[in-house]
């Protein structure tokens, strides 16, 4: 109830928050070559069997060449022998489909920037999913698996945490969910009861060549108050605790260093550092909550605690 009241106040504009949440909030699209512009902006098609990703099958993720949003995981790519990269499944909410101008096909676009990707076909029988996303190579960039990192941040309401990291350059995915408890696949109401042991958590997948983990961790410690125990502002309970679920020893080392820095500066940090376990995605209405509901400000405003670094 507290949370609903606080967000109604924010949505009504009765609380004014200033400053950018995170660096990269007003991220610009990358410059396009004439060929890329022809395809991505004007809906053109590259010649068959000429794209760089027609026959590539390395582990990794394919992202939009214009805005960098993740589109397809490598494990969904298959050989369709059609002359263009083919995928039988897009990343959830990453791709939009609409009738093509030719009246016969279904066009697919990047859901983040509206850039043209190609077309989607069904009923061809290539895979069990019976779907072929036929994509122009010039519409995508490929990030190999050894450049991709994952970490899980819990810092109060996951709506604000997710929104902050979604706006961070170098982040490939930010997804709200639950972690740290004992109940499999918990519901929001179960987590809010405090009985499951889970905390509201955001899965952050990032391109380690575009943003260092240290910077992500600094953002985390600066968009919430790491000195509040089992609460964050008006949201109270263990489900709102401050915790980082790390996936590598290097991440742990950096986190311990940053916690030490904050404590040396007088902050009584209570953030828990825990090896990552099972992550359960939250219900769909929680994903991209701020954008879906037109909320333009957040309780997760950035306070520069490391500005002397």
Catalytic positions: 134, 157
Given a contact cutoff of 8 angstroms between Cβ atoms, the answer to whether 302 and 308 are in contact is no
Joined tokens for residue 100: 């093509």
Q: How many CB atoms sit inside 10 A of residue 95's CB?
A: 23
Q: Tell me the pairing of strands 242-246 and 272-275.
A: parallel
Residue closest to 33 by CA, chosen among 107, 139, 111: 139
- What is the C-alpha separation between 158 and 178, in angstroms, rounded? 9
> 259, 272 in Cβ contact below 8 A?
no
Q: Are 87 and 130 in contact (CB under 8 A)?
A: no
The answer to whether 148 and 61 are in contact (CB under 8 A) is yes
3-state secondary structure of 242: strand
DSSP 3-state assignment of 162? helix
- Rounded CA-CA distance 129/88 in Å is 6
Cα-based distances in Å from 9 to 4, 6, 132, 217: 9, 5, 45, 29
Sequence-distant (≥ 6) Cβ neighbours of residue 247 within 8 angstroms: 149, 150, 151, 152, 275, 276
Instruction: Decide: 160 and 291 in contact? Cβ < 8 Å.
Output: no
Per-residue buried b or exposed e for 191-204, using 16+ beta carbons within 10 Å of the residue's own CB? bbeeebebbbbbbb
Neighbours of 37 (CB within 10 A): 15
């Amino acid at each position: 109830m507290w949370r609903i009241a606080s967000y109604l106040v924010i949505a009504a504009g009765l609380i004014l928050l200033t400053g950018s949440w995170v660096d990269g909030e007003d991220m610009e699209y990358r410059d396009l070559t004439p060929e890329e512009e022809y395809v991505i902006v004007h809906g053109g098609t590259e010649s068959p069997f000429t794209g760089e990703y027609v026959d590539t099958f390395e582990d990794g993720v394919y992202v939009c060449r214009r805005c960098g949003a993740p589109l397809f995981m490598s494990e969904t790519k298959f050989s369709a022998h059609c002359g263009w990269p083919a995928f039988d499944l897009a990343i959830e909410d990453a791709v939009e489909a609409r009738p093509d101008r030719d009246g016969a096909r279904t066009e697919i676009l990047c859901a983040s920037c509206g850039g043209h990707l190609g077309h989607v076909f069904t009923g061809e029988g290539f895979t069990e999913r019976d779907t072929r996303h036929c994509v122009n190579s010039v519409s995508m960039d490929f990030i190999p698996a050894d450049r991709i990192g994952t970490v899980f941040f819990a810092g109060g309401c996951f709506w604000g945490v997710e929104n902050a990291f979604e706006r961070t350059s170098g982040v490939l995915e930010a997804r709200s969910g639950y972690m740290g408890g004992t109940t499999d696949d918990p519901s929001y109401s179960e987590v809010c009861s405090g009985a499951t042991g889970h905390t509201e958590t955001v899965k952050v997948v990032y391109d380690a060549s575009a943003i260092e983990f240290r910077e992500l961790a600094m953002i985390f410690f600066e968009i919430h108050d790491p000195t509040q125990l089992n609460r964050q502002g008006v949201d109270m309970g263990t489900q709102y605790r401050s915790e980082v679920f790390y996936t590598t020893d290097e991440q742990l080392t950096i986190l311990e260093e940053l916690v030490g820095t904050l404590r040396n500066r007088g902050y009584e940090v209570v953030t828990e550092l825990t090896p990552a376990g099972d992550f359960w995605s939250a219900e769909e209405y929680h994903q991209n909550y701020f954008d879906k509901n037109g909320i333009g400000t957040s309780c997760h405003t950035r306070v520069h605690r490391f500005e002397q670094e």
